[in-house]
Amino acid sequence: MHLYSAILIPGVPGILVSLAVFLIVVVLVCLRTPAGPFDFDPDFDKQLTAYLDIAKFVLGIASGSIVLIVSASTLRANSPGPGAAPQKLPFAYASPMAILVMTIVYGVIFMAFIALDFEAFKADNKSYSRPKYVLNQTLAFSSLSCFCLGYAWLAYAAIR
């Protein structure tokens, strides 16, 4: 299978774009992150709660959108009447939905790592390193970037 024919598979361009977003964000975060040392603020518990709430909000909207689009396409019938076959999801929606899926993937991994790194830091205050900081920042901003990009692409696909 050639690269060109793989790109024609529904959703592959969206997955490639979301991976490119991750790579761009990791480069930007690496360039803007000083050498260290890295630690958490004494009252990071409150910040962690806010970060996780923001992530949960974004993930809820992204997953709700996916469910809504899939259910709307599934419930719409090709022809009226009983026994009508469900329609397939329009090809143009596959890539933005793939980006929204990657929003969820990046967000869930961010939530797990930030909580894990904070717990490890409480046990050993030298455990939070630059690579962990860069990964957490990259996952958070990749999730948010993919969310915005996925919605913009979805809006474009809907009005096209």
Within a domain: 29 = no
Within a domain: 79 = yes
pLDDT tens-place string over residues 1-43: 555 555 678 888 999 999 999 999 999 999 999 987 888 888 8
Alpha helices in 39-81 (DSSP H): 44-75
Domain that holds residue 108: 45-159
Within a domain: 52 = yes
Within a domain: 35 = no
Q: How many domains does the chain have?
A: 1
Within a domain: 2 = no
d(CA 49, CA 65): 24
User: Binning pLDDT at 50, 70 and 90, where does residue 81 land?
Assistant: low
d(CA 100, CA 102): 5
d(CA 108, CA 55): 8
Q: Is 112 exposed, middle or buried (0-12, 13-18, 19+ CB in 10 A)?
A: exposed
Q: Give 32-35 contacts, CB < 8 A, sequence gap 24+.
A: 33/130, 33/133, 33/134, 33/137, 35/130
| Beta carbons of 136 and 116 less than 8 angstroms apart | no
Within a domain: 4 = no
Within a domain: 12 = no
**Mean pLDDT of all residues belonging to the chain:** 87
Within a domain: 32 = no
Chain centre distance of CA 33: 22
pLDDT tens-place string over residues 101-150: 999 999 999 999 999 999 999 999 889 999 999 999 999 999 999 999 99
d(CA 75, CA 3): 33
pLDDT at 73: 67
Separation in Å, CA 25 to CA 1, 18, 82? 30, 10, 49
The dihedrals phi and psi of 36, each to the nearest 5 degrees, come to 130, -170
Position 69, amino acid: I
pLDDT at 2: 55
d(CA 58, CA 49): 14
